[in-house]
Amino acid sequence: LLCFRRYLLTALISCLFWNMLGLSAAMDSKPNILLFLADDLGIGDIGCYGNNTIRTPNIDRLAREGVKLTQHIAAAPLCTPSRAAFLTGRYPIRSGMASSNRYRALQWNAGSGGLPANETTFARLLQQQGYTTGLIGKWHQGVSCESFNDHCHHPLNHGFDYFYGMPFTLLNNCQENKPPELDVALQAKLWLYSQIIALAVLTLTAGKLIGLISIRWKIIACFTLAGGLFFISWYSSYGFVQYWNCILMRNHDVTEQPMKLERTASLMLKEAVLFIKRNRHGPFLLFVSFLHVHTPLFTTAKFLGKSRHGLYGDNVEEMDWMVGKILDLLDKEGLKNHTFTYFASDHGGHLEAQNGSAQLGGWNGIYKGGKGMGGWEGGIRVPGVFRWPGVLPAGTVIDEPTSLMDIYPTVVHLAGGILPQDRVIDGRNLVPLLQGRAQKSEHEFLFHYCGSYLHAVRWHQKDSGAIWKAHYVTPVFHPPGAGACYGKGICPCFGEGVTHHDPPLLFDLSRDPSEAKPLSADTEPLFDAVIRQMGRAIEEHRRTLTPVPEQLSLYNVMWKPWLQPCCETFPFCRCDKEGD
């Protein structure tokens, strides 16, 4: 019996030793890094976050084999600023990617705004550590600054060795027979003004011909010319959105203009597969930035009508299938245990995306609000799933505040890199938390912006376990009580469309995650102390901000024909190199 006990003890020690040795070896080597980022996906749209009607077995597999975060927060509720924060680990207001006007995302490939060249992305730092870096899918961080081929904002100028995808984002305009999505209200006004001018010209001409109006033909001609120039000035951009914005690029070359949506998903998947195969000896960074599940929700025939949630559910299930194909490739190539994999969404689901009674946007679970709302949880709380077999414990759930900005220091740490010392990095390294070596998030305060306007602040009071959240500004829902800004497309950040709160609305998310019952000094003894502490945190945060050029200014977001990416001679921009 004594010998048997000694044998068991020796075997146990040996097992622990080899496990620790394997873990150490895995941590010492540089893992491949695979990042999945969905577009407009709600936290309530996938199975591992409680949805039992949309089938997402592959994303659920990641959660089952890894770590799931329940308080994963986007730094902004819209694509362009949220992705800028993801790539740089910094609040978008620090890089100039936060807007003070109503244009809160880039509007054109031919705009001059975008992620500044002096911002250092995680791709750049991993490139310096010997990684081959690739981006497949959506960019939406700008293309050029002063000429169509300077590519100052292009992925290849921000640390990616290879790019295949959309420099912009999907829009309804990219699909035939869909209602326009880009600047609809402005287009309606421009059409009205053009029609008024045309009617005036016809009236003057008729009046002159029948002798009712005494006016010189030269004046009518000048008026006609001015009207024609006005029409051309706006229709040359808004009349050809499909050609100007809906394009595919490989590195610096335009390959489809306009893109063929019916084969885009298969092309993206093929490119991701080929990148992994080319670089299977690693290390590599692959950022798969899905065009799913943004409108127009173009879905291939294989998935149409297969879900229980119409076109939106079909699109989610197609994206999950693509995730599965890439994960299967990792298994086949023997890369699964040597790849750090991450899945998230850039912000919450788009509640206002509707076609009649059909919902074309995501579901944000129990959380109030959605895309475009800087403060409410539904706009910024997103899925966050990690997997690294043998290093991260499988089946783990972490209920601590984390941010999409945390990916930056996390992957830089895994690659053996050093964070920039000349700027503020707002993200925190998640590795200790993901491995279970730390029990609490390093974030004490998180600041929730809508454009460049601070709407809310979150305080993780670690000693008590409370997660306080104060709303200083909230959008005015339309119709009242609807929970979104229906009829407007997206909720505004300022002006008559918001309400300012003094004192702010206060919630304890640990007790009220749905933000249903605001606290007051009468119902919460710590109300005044919490508000004072948050006020001090805001002052300290603002002292760290420095003025930078606003990349989303009206001038920077407007269409400039001399910046238009074009596969032929502008304005004859039409090609299908993929088909060729």
Q: How many alpha carbons lie under 13 Å from residue 75 in its C-beta half-sphere?
A: 28
Record the tokens describing residue 414, joined without a space: 């895994």
* Bridge partners of residue 112, in order along the sequence: none
How many Cβ atoms sit within 10 Å of the Cβ of residue 195?
11
CA distance 341 to 542: 34
How many Cβ atoms sit within 10 Å of the Cβ of residue 241?
23
Position of tokens 């992305």?
121
Classified as helix, coil or strand, 24 is helix
Strands 453-461 and 445-450, by their bridges, are antiparallel
Strands 32-38 and 284-289, by their bridges, are parallel
Which of 297, 65, 56, 266 minimizes the C-alpha distance to 164?
266
What is the C-alpha end-to-end distance of the chain, expressed in Å? 76
Backbone angles phi, psi at 384, to 5 degrees: -150, 110
Q: In the 3-class helix/strand/coil scheme, how is 81-125 assigned residue by residue?
A: HHHHHHHHCCCHHHHCCCCCCCCCCCCCCCCCCCCCCCCCCHHHH
Of 140, 154, 158, 443, the active-site residue reads 140
Whether residue 292 lies in the annotated active site: no
Classified as helix, coil or strand, 61 is helix
| Residue 514 burial (C-beta neighbours within 10 Å; 0-12, 13-18, 19+) | middle
Q: What order of strands is seen across the sheet that includes strand 466-475?
A: 445-450, 453-461, 466-475, 498-508
Record the tokens describing residue 128, joined without a space: 């310096």
CA distance 543 to 529: 22
Strands 248-250 and 162-166, by their bridges, are antiparallel
Of 48, 72, 79, 292, the active-site residue reads 79
Axis crossing angle, helix 79-88 with helix 407-414, rounded to the nearest 10? 30
Q: How many alpha carbons lie under 13 Å from residue 376 in its C-beta half-sphere?
A: 29
Whether residue 48 lies in the annotated active site: no
Which of 88, 60, 59, 91 minimizes the C-alpha distance to 74?
91
Residue 375 is which amino acid? G
CA distance 373 to 125: 32
Residue 187 is which amino acid? Q
CA distance 442 to 463: 13
On the question of a cis peptide bond just before residue 389, with omega within 30 degrees of 0, the verdict is no
Q: Hey, which residues are catalytic here? A: 79, 140
